[in-house]
C-alpha cells in the first residue's frame, strides 16, 4: 500500500516537473540591432534583401496554390474515371470525403461539396477544352467582343495581344492534352469556383481568369465584374480613337473604355440632375474608380478652366497612368446630342494646351449619357480631331421586376403606417 502511494505521486509529478523545466528554460531574447556605423550601401542592400524575401514568399504561395489546384484536378479526374467504370454515386463520394477528412483531420477543403466541385473543375475545363482546342484563336480577335456590330476589328495594345496569345490560346491547346491549364492554375481555388459556377462560356471564363491575374482582382471584385457583364462591355464604346491616336495608343485606349458604365452603387431618382449624378459618383469615388477600371487617378470635379476671359468647368478630371494622359469625363442626364462632341473637343484642346506635359499623350474625352443613338454618335465623332468616346451609363434596379408590382409603394406604406398610428394622411397622398 505504502509503496503504491509513494510511487503514484512520482508518476503524477513527472509531467509537471518536465513542463516546469521547459517553462523555466531561458527564452531567446529578441536581437537588438547593434549601434555601429553602417557601411555605405547597407540601407540599399537591406531593402534589396527584403524585396527578395517578399518575392520568395509570393513565389512560394503561388507554387503552393498551383500544387493544390493540380491535386484538385487529379482528384476530380479520378472520380470521373471511377464513375464511368464503376458507377460511383453520391453515397460513395460522401464516404470518400469522410475517409479523407478522417485521415487528414487538420486539412480543410475535402468536404463532400468541395469534392463535387473538384469533379466539376475537371469536367468544366476538359469537356469544353476539347471544343476550344479545335478552334484555337489565331489572334486575340476570337476572345474579345467587337466594339461595334459592323466592325470586326478588336482594339488591343501589343502587350495585351501577347498576353492573350500566351495565356488564352495555350490553355486551350493544353486542355486537349488533358493537363491543368496554366492560366487557371495561377488563380486561387475560390476564384475558380466563381468562374465555374457563374460563367458558362469557355472563352469568357478564360478572359475573366486572365483579367483576374493581370489586375489582382479579389473574389468579390471578380464576382462583381461578372455580375455587371464586364466581358460584354469592355471596348464597346463609340469612339474615334482609331483615327485620332497612334495605333498602339488607340488600341489600349479603346480597350480602356466600356459601354455601358454601371453605377449600381448610386440611389438616384429619375428626376436626378447631372450635378446629382456627379455628387453621387464623388461620394462613392472608390466604387466609381473600380467601375472605370485599372489606371484611373482622380484629380477633381468641376475643375476650373479659364479660356480668354471666360471660365469653364470640367465635370470630372482624371489621369490615366497606363495611357499617360488626362481623361475628361462629361456627365449627361439625357440622350447624347451632337453638340456634346464639339464642347468636348474644345475642352480637350484647352487641356492639351494648358495642362498637358510634353511627355504626356493626347488627352482623351469620355461623354457619359443616359442613352445614345450609335449612328448619331458615330457621325458626331467622324470629323472631330480630338480622341473622344461616347458611352451610356445606367443604374441597376435592386428590386427584381417580377416583385415590383406586388410590393406596396412608398405612398401606400405611409398611408398604412399613418392610419395605424392615428396620423392623418398628408396632402397630395389622397
Q: How far apart are CA 67 and CA 310, in angstroms?
A: 64
**pLDDT at residue 170 is higher than 80:** no
- CATH number for the domain harbouring residue 258: 3.40.1350.10
Q: Return the ∠ at Cα 339 (arms to 338 and 340), rounded to 5°.
A: 90
| Same domain flag for 265 and 345 | yes
Sorted by sequence, the CB contacts under 8 Å of residue 176 that are 6+ apart come out as: 129, 130, 133
Mean pLDDT of 243-254: 88
The answer to whether 301 and 275 are in contact (CB under 8 A) is no
Q: Select from 203, 233, 263 the last residue of a domain.
A: 233
**pLDDT at residue 408 is higher than 60:** no
For residue 171, give the nearest of 128, 228, 117 by alpha carbon.
Answer: 128
Q: Let me know if residue 40 belongs to a domain.
A: no
Task: Name the β-bridge partners of 311.
Answer: 306
| Same domain flag for 223 and 257 | no
Q: Return the ∠ at Cα 106 (arms to 105 and 108), rounded to 5°.
A: 95
Q: Let me know if residue 421 belongs to a domain.
A: no
**pLDDT at residue 134 is higher than 70:** no
- pLDDT for res 37: 83
| Same domain flag for 256 and 390 | yes
| Same domain flag for 254 and 334 | yes
Look at the chain and report how many structural domains it folds into. Answer: 2
More confident residue, 139 or 106: 106
| Same domain flag for 80 and 216 | yes
Q: How far apart are CA 366 and CA 298, in angstroms?
A: 14
* CA terminus-to-terminus distance, the chain: 97
Segment 46-98, tens digit of pLDDT:
999 999 999 999 889 888 998 999 999 999 999 999 988 888 888 999 999 99
| Same domain flag for 173 and 296 | no
Structural domain including 353 reads 238-394
Q: Let me know if residue 17 belongs to a domain.
A: no
The HSE-up count of residue 90 (CA atoms within 13 Å, CB side) is 1
Q: Let me know if residue 4 belongs to a domain.
A: no
Q: Let me know if residue 179 belongs to a domain.
A: yes
What's this model's pTM, rounded to 2 decimal places?
0.64
Q: Let me know if residue 399 belongs to a domain.
A: no
Q: Select from 181, 200, 233 the last residue of a domain.
A: 233
- pLDDT for res 178: 54
Q: Let me know if residue 10 belongs to a domain.
A: no
Segment 99-128, tens digit of pLDDT:
999 999 888 889 999 999 999 999 888 755
**pLDDT at residue 3 is higher than 50:** no
For residue 183, give the nearest of 161, 216, 209, 160 by alpha carbon.
Answer: 209
- Within 10 A of 382 (CB to CB), how many other CB atoms are there? 10
Q: How far apart are CA 388 and CA 238, in angstroms?
A: 9
Task: Name the β-bridge partners of 313.
Answer: 304
Q: Let me know if residue 19 belongs to a domain.
A: no
What element of type H or E holds 302?
Answer: strand 296-307
The answer to whether 388 and 348 are in contact (CB under 8 A) is yes
Residue linked to cell 468562374: 195
| Same domain flag for 203 and 168 | yes
Mean pLDDT of the chain: 77
| Same domain flag for 224 and 260 | no
Coil, strand or helix at 385: coil
| Same domain flag for 102 and 208 | yes
**pLDDT at residue 161 is higher than 90:** no
- pLDDT for res 30: 63
| Same domain flag for 218 and 294 | no
Sorted by sequence, the CB contacts under 8 Å of residue 361 that are 6+ apart come out as: 245, 249, 323, 324, 325
| Same domain flag for 227 and 282 | no
**What is the biggest distance separating any 2 CA atoms in the chain, rounded to whole angstroms?**
112
| Same domain flag for 220 and 78 | yes
What CA–CA distances, in Å, run from 287 to 74, 270, 357, 390?
A: 39, 21, 29, 21
Amino acid at each position: 500500500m505504502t509503496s503504491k502511494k509513494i510511487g503514484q505521486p512520482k508518476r503524477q509529478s513527472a509531467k509537471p516537473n518536465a513542463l516546469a523545466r521547459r517553462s523555466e528554460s531561458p527564452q531567446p531574447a529578441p536581437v537588438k540591432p547593434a549601434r555601429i556605423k553602417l557601411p555605405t550601401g547597407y540601407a540599399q542592400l537591406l531593402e534589396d534583401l527584403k524585396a527578395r524575401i517578399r518575392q520568395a514568399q509570393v513565389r512560394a504561395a503561388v507554387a503552393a496554390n498551383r500544387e493544390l489546384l493540380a491535386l484538385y484536378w487529379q482528384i476530380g479526374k479520378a472520380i470521373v474515371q471511377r464513375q464511368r467504370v464503376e458507377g460511383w454515386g453520391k453515397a460513395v463520394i460522401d464516404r470518400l470525403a469522410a475517409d479523407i477528412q478522417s485521415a487528414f483531420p487538420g486539412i480543410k477543403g475535402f468536404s463532400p461539396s468541395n469534392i463535387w466541385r473538384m469533379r466539376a473543375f475537371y469536367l468544366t475545363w476538359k469537356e469544353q477544352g476539347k471544343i476550344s482546342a479545335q478552334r484555337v484563336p489565331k489572334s486575340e480577335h476570337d476572345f474579345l467582343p467587337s466594339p461595334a456590330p459592323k466592325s470586326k476589328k478588336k482594339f488591343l495594345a501589343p502587350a495585351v495581344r501577347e498576353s492573350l496569345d500566351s495565356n488564352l490560346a495555350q490553355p486551350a491547346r493544353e486542355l486537349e492534352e488533358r493537363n491543368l491549364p496554366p492560366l487557371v492554375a495561377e488563380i486561387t481555388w475560390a476564384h475558380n469556383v466563381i468562374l465555374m459556377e457563374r460563367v458558362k462560356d469557355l472563352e469568357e471564363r478564360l478572359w475573366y481568369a486572365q483579367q483576374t491575374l493581370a489586375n489582382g482582382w479579389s473574389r468579390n471584385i471578380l464576382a462583381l465584374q461578372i455580375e455587371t457583364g464586364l466581358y460584354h462591355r469592355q471596348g464597346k464604346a463609340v469612339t474615334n480613337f482609331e483615327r485620332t491616336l497612334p495605333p498602339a495608343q488607340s488600341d489600349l485606349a479603346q480597350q480602356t473604355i466600356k459601354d455601358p458604365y454601371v453605377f449600381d452603387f448610386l440611389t438616384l431618382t429619375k428626376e436626378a440632375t447631372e450635378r446629382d449624378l456627379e455628387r453621387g459618383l464623388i461620394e462613392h469615388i472608390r466604387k466609381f474608380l473600380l467601375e472605370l477600371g485599372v489606371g484611373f487617378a482622380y484629380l477633381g470635379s468641376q475643375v476650373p478652366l479659364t479660356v480668354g476671359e471666360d471660365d469653364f468647368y470640367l465635370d470630372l478630371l482624371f489621369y490615366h497612368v497606363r495611357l499617360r494622359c488626362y481623361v475628361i469625363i462629361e456627365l449627361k442626364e439625357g440622350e447624347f446630342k451632337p453638340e456634346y462632341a464639339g464642347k468636348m473637343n474644345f475642352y480637350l484642346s484647352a487641356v492639351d494646351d494648358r495642362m498637358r506635359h510634353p511627355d504626356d499623350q493626347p488627352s482623351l474625352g469620355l461623354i457619359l449619357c443616359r442613352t445614345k443613338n450609335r449612328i448619331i454618335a458615330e457621325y458626331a465623332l467622324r470629323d472631330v480631331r480630338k480622341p473622344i468616346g461616347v458611352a451610356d451609363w445606367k443604374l441597376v434596379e435592386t428590386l427584381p421586376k417580377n416583385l415590383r408590382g406586388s410590393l406596396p409603394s412608398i405612398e401606400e406604406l405611409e398611408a398604412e403606417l399613418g392610419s395605424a398610428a392615428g396620423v392623418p394622411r398628408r396632402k397630395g397622398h389622397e
